[in-house]
Amino acid sequence: MRNCKDHKTCINEALIKAETICKQKGVKFTKLRKQVLKLIWKSHSYVKAYDLLEELKKIDSSAKPPTVYRSLDFLIDNGFIHKVQSLNAFVACTHPQEHKECYFLICKNCKSIEECCSEKISKVMNSEATRNNFNTNQVTLEISGICQECIN
C-alpha cells in the first residue's frame, strides 16, 4: 500500500476484492459501505472516524456518526479494515481473508502504518497463551516508533 505505484488501481482492486468476498459470504456490500471503504483506502495512512464523517458528508450531506460507525463495524467484522486501538483510528486491511494474527508498525513521524504478518510472532504468541492456559480470542499488537523511511 505504502509503495504502490498507482494508488487508484490499488483502491479499485481492493474494492473489487471486497465485492467478491462479500458475494462469497452472502453479505451486502452496499453503496454506503463501499463508499466508506473507498474513503479509508484513499488514505495511505490511518483515518479517524470523524474525519471520515466529514469526507462522507461531501458525498451525502445527511451523513451522521452512526452512518460511519455502522459501516466501520461492518468493515471490521468482515475483515476489510482494522481498528488501531492505540490511535482510535481505522486502517484498510491489505490482505483480507488471508491472515489471522497481524501486527501494525506505526510511524510517529510520517503517520504511515504498515500491516505485517509473521508466523514467528503468531507461534510465540500461541505458545505464551498456552503457557498461561489462556484461550486467545483476539490479539492487538501495535508497534509505535520510527519507520525505515524516516530514520534515514
Partner DNA sequence: AAATGAATGTTATAATATAACATAATTAAT
Partner DNA sequence: ATTAATTATGTTATATTATAACATTCATTT
Residues of this chain that interact with DNA (CB under 7 A) are: 27-28, 30-33, 48-50, 60, 62-67, 69-71, 73-74, 83, 88
Report the b/e string of 101-139 with b at 16+ CB within 10 A.
bbbbbbbeeeebbbbeeeeeebeebeeeeeeeeeeeeee
How do 102-107 and 89-92 pair as beta strands?
unpaired
For its own copies, which residue of 19, 28, 86, 98 counts as binding (CB under 8 A)?
86
Give the Cα separation of 80 and 18 in Å (integer): 7
> Which amino acid would we find at residue 20?
T
Q: Is 108 in the site for its own copies (CB under 8 A)?
A: yes
What does the block give as the cell for 39? 474513503
Q: Is 118 in the site for its own copies (CB under 8 A)?
A: yes
User: Closest approach of Cβ 107 to DNA, in Å?
Assistant: 18
Q: Using CB under 8 A, which of the segments 25-33, 49-57, 64-72, 132-140 binds its own copies?
A: 132-140
Burial of 26: CB neighbours in 10 Å, binned 0-12, 13-18, 19+: exposed
Q: Is 115 in the site for its own copies (CB under 8 A)?
A: no
User: Closest approach of Cβ 67 to DNA, in Å?
Assistant: 5
Residue 70 interacts with, from its own copies, DNA, Zn ion, none (CB under 5-8 Å by kind): DNA
Q: Is 129 in the site for its own copies (CB under 8 A)?
A: yes
